Amino acid sequence: MASLSQSRQPSSPRQAARRKAAVDGLLDPELFKALGDPTRVLLLRCLLKCKRACSVSEVAECCDVDFSVVARHLSLLARSGVLEARKVGRTVWYTPRCEDLASTFRSLADAIDDCSPTPIDCCGSDCCKEE
Amino acid sequence: MASLSQSRQPSSPRQAARRKAAVDGLLDPELFKALGDPTRVLLLRCLLKCKRACSVSEVAECCDVDFSVVARHLSLLARSGVLEARKVGRTVWYTPRCEDLASTFRSLADAIDDCSPTPIDCCGSDCCKEE
DNA sequence: GGGATAGTGACGCCATGATGCAAATATATC
DNA sequence: GATATATTTGCATCATGGCGTCACTATCCC
């Protein structure tokens, strides 16, 4: 809970990389990779706007790719924590994990803000001087 | 500015996909793709924690990959709007666009919240019943 | 101008991943 | 048990993307 973020003055990036910060845990390439594919984003948007759990077959009607591809994408999104999967009988119902996602992105925004240099003394070297 | 998000009851995902919502613009696979690579995220964390503009050479000392690879990654991050690039003389100074990034992620969080179904009547079909 | 420094661009190699098809599995229904 | 439905998995193909090497350009300093 303690805010370690107001750390010291600008250092070399190599030194800075060694310091711990909130962004370390929140900037997760795996999550972004999951959201980095156009088809997957299309499916996610579809699920988000539908506002209810949807089966693989239903979601597959939202785009042109093969059914098996949709099934794989949804499964991957679930493994990445983006969707929740609930199997009932022979059908799987997928729901976006809205609360978790929103909270993750908000925490990330906060962590990034913590990294923002203050306009004053933002840079000890000459790299910040106006041209 | 008008909030169209409180739209109607759950529909088929195919119908839902046709409706416009804030997530349509904010869930951008290109941004996520840029943030979906471990090396790029490492470089970005490095820049974020350094809290000042850094040159390509400086950032390149933060990881093991070849200098040219770092240069390409930084250039890509700049093209994706994650970094700002400022060329002074023969060196390029990169800075994270903290405000834009934080604001993007916050808007995204809001848009996702808008998609969250109300706990009541979240689903007209039997897909939401407890097991 | 000549040489050093900072970064970009053009290759080729290789791993990953997205896709479609078809077979396999799991579950309901008859 | 046979059959239909819902999804998963194996396989082959193909495109994308990350990486390193090297040549090239731009800029600075002598």
Interval A25-60: pLDDT, tens:
999 999 999 999 999 999 999 999 998 999 999 999
- Output the pLDDT for position A10: 61
B99-114 tens-digit pLDDT = 999 999 999 999 999 9
- What is the pLDDT at residue B49? 93
CATH of domain A26-114: 1.10.10.10
pLDDT at B3: 45
CATH for B24-113, options being 1.10.10.10, 1.20.1440.60, 1.10.3720.10, 2.60.120.10: 1.10.10.10
Question: What's residue B20's pLDDT?
Answer: 87
Confidence of residue A128 (pLDDT cuts 50, 70, 90): very low
The DSSP-derived string for chain B is: -----S--S---HHHHHHS--HHHHH--HHHHHHT--HHHHHHHHHHHHHTS-EEHHHHHTTSSS-HHHHHHHHHHHHHTTSEEEEEETTEEEEEE-HHHHHHHHHHHHHHHHHHSPPSTT--SSGGGS--
pLDDT band for position B58 (50/70/90)? Answer: very high
Alpha helices in chain A (DSSP H): 13-18, 22-26, 29-34, 38-50, 56-60, 67-79, 98-115
Whether B121 has a pLDDT exceeding 80, the answer reads no
Q: What is the pLDDT of residue A22?
A: 87
Please indicate if any CB of chain B lies within 8 Å of the CB of A55.
yes
* pLDDT value of position A126: 42
Asked whether residue A125 carries a pLDDT value surpassing 60, the answer given is no
Distance from CA of B103 to the nearest CA of A (A): 7
Q: Which nucleotide is nearest to B65 (CA to C1')?
A: D19
pLDDT at B53 over 50: yes
Taking only the tens place, the pLDDT of each residue in A62-114 is: 999 999 999 999 999 999 999 999 999 999 999 999 999 999 999 999 999 99
Kindly list the domain boundaries of chain B, sorted by start residue: 24-113
CB contact under 8 A, B49 and A16: yes
Query: Given a cut of 60, is residue A129 above it in pLDDT?
Result: no
Strand ranges across the sheet with A83-88: A54-55, A91-96, A83-88
For residue B10, what pLDDT band results from cuts at 50, 70 and 90?
Answer: low
Check CB contact of B124 with chain A, cutoff 8 Å. Answer: yes
Q: In the prediction, which pLDDT does A83 show?
A: 98
- For residue B72, give the nucleotide whose C1' atom is nearest its CA: C8
How far CA A28 is from CA of A23, A73, B26, B45, B83, in Å, comes to 9, 19, 18, 10, 17
Query: Which residue in the set B13, B58, B124 is minimally distant from A12, CB to CB?
Result: B58
